[in-house]
Amino acid sequence: MHYYPLRNVPVPGAAGASYDEWLQALDQELEREDCDRNELCRKILTDIYYPDLVGRDPESLTPSTRIALLQMDPRNVTLEPEYYQEIDEERYARVKPLIWLWEMFDKSPLGENVHLGIQFRRILARRIFKRCGKNFKAFHFVKFSFGYNLEVGDDVVVHRHVLLDDRGGIRIGNRASISDFANIYSHTHDIVDPKLVATPATVLGDGVRITYHATVLAGVHVAPDSMVGAMALATRDTEPSTVHVGIPAKPVKAKPEDRTREPGPGDPLADHR
């Protein structure tokens, strides 16, 4: 196998300057104590999706267009977690506009831009999560439930189409990596009455790797430096520094003790602020 660290990808100067200006303005606005997050979300999404309709009288638009514009305002939409009985309404009201902004950004023409998207989501994650460490990277179409029950360490990477169901809480340790289409749960339903719900916290330790299409069920503690293999289903706690595969996931291989490697170049997607 070859050692392939991420390479640096230059962004044209004018584009990069525009990105930096837009991101800085967003970050500064969210820092304001009097920031109206709902209104900020509405303005940004309207600018992205319907720039020609900014300032238009809604009564001059067709009914379908009026409905489409209403979706730019998070106050006009309901999200699945709002129907959960255990929701903390006050905490969710703070993060809902940012969750909606995150999701709609990902569905827009801007969402696939890695350079822009990583930084944009990082700004929002710091205000949504219970804790967000340095150099957090989330690629597009990451979904979570409450958001405020997520604790994320340093240098964590979450790849495409990942579900982080933080109803009961998810703690992700430093340098953990979650690959594409993985699912991490922290709630489970009774086998007889699905309205009976348990919400044990799920923990991914330092250096954990959850690989492609794997699932970690509620309450599982994935031990530090362990790996849950592709398509595996982790139903119970894992062993440290061990690879687990299958349904249910079982330990099959210990990681080698000697894993020294020459230091590579810096992470081009790191937060250099």
The 10s digit of each residue's pLDDT in 81-98 is 999 999 999 999 999 999
Q: What is the DSSP letter of 94?
A: H
Distance in angstroms (rounded) separating the CA atoms of residues 141 and 130: 20
b (16+ CB within 10 A) / e for 76-96:
eeeeebeeeeebeeeebeebb
Q: Is 152 helix (H, G, I), strand (E, B) or coil?
A: strand
Q: Are 79 and 97 in contact (CB under 8 A)?
A: no
34, 131, 231, 216 alpha-carbon torsion, rounded to 10°: -110
**Which pLDDT does position 266 carry in this prediction?**
82
Q: Output the six-digit token pair for 37.
A: 């997050």
Q: How many angstroms separate the CA atoms of 211 and 247, rounded?
A: 14
- What is the band of 159 on the pLDDT scale with cuts at 50, 70, 90? very high
pLDDT band per the 50, 70, 90 thresholds, residue 147: very high
Q: Which residues contact 184 (CB under 8 A, 6 or more apart)?
A: 162, 163, 164, 165, 170, 178, 202, 204, 210, 215, 216
What is the reported pLDDT for 178?
98
Query: What is the pLDDT at residue 257?
Result: 82
Q: How far apart are CA 89 and CA 108, in angstroms?
A: 28
Per-residue confidence (pLDDT) for residue 262, from 0 to 100: 66
Query: What is the per-residue pLDDT for 41?
Result: 98
Taking only the tens place, the pLDDT of each residue in 46-74 is: 999 999 999 888 889 999 999 999 999 99
How far from 70 is each of 41, 49, 63, 75, 186, CA to CA, in Å?
Answer: 12, 12, 11, 9, 32
Checking if the pLDDT of 249 tops 80, the result is yes
Q: Average pLDDT of 196-207?
A: 98
pLDDT of 272: 72
Do 185 and 205 meet the contact criterion of CB atoms below 8 Å apart?
no
**Percent residues over pLDDT 70 in the chain:** 97
Q: Residue 261: pLDDT above 70?
A: no
All structural domains of the chain, each given as residue ranges with its CATH number in brackets, are 22-128 (no CATH), 133-255 (2.160.10.10)
Give one DSSP letter per residue of 58-82, joined into a string.
GGGS-HHHHHHHHTTSGGG---GGG
137-138 and 157-158 strand pairing: parallel
Please say if the pLDDT value at position 138 is more than 90: yes
Confidence tier at 263 by pLDDT (50, 70, 90): low
Helix (H) or strand (E) holding 210: strand 209-210
Least confident stretch, 176-180, 238-242, 263-267: 263-267
User: What percentage of the chain exceeds 90 in pLDDT?
Assistant: 90
- Mean pLDDT across the chain: 96
For residue 273, is pLDDT > 70? no
Average pLDDT for residues 206-233, to the nearest whole number? 98
Q: Considering only CA atoms, which of 209, 263, 202, 210 is closest in space to residue 237? A: 202
- CA pair distance 139, 125, nearest whole angstrom: 12
pLDDT for 243 equals 98
Inter-CA distances, 196 with 75, 85, 190, 199, Å: 29, 11, 5, 10
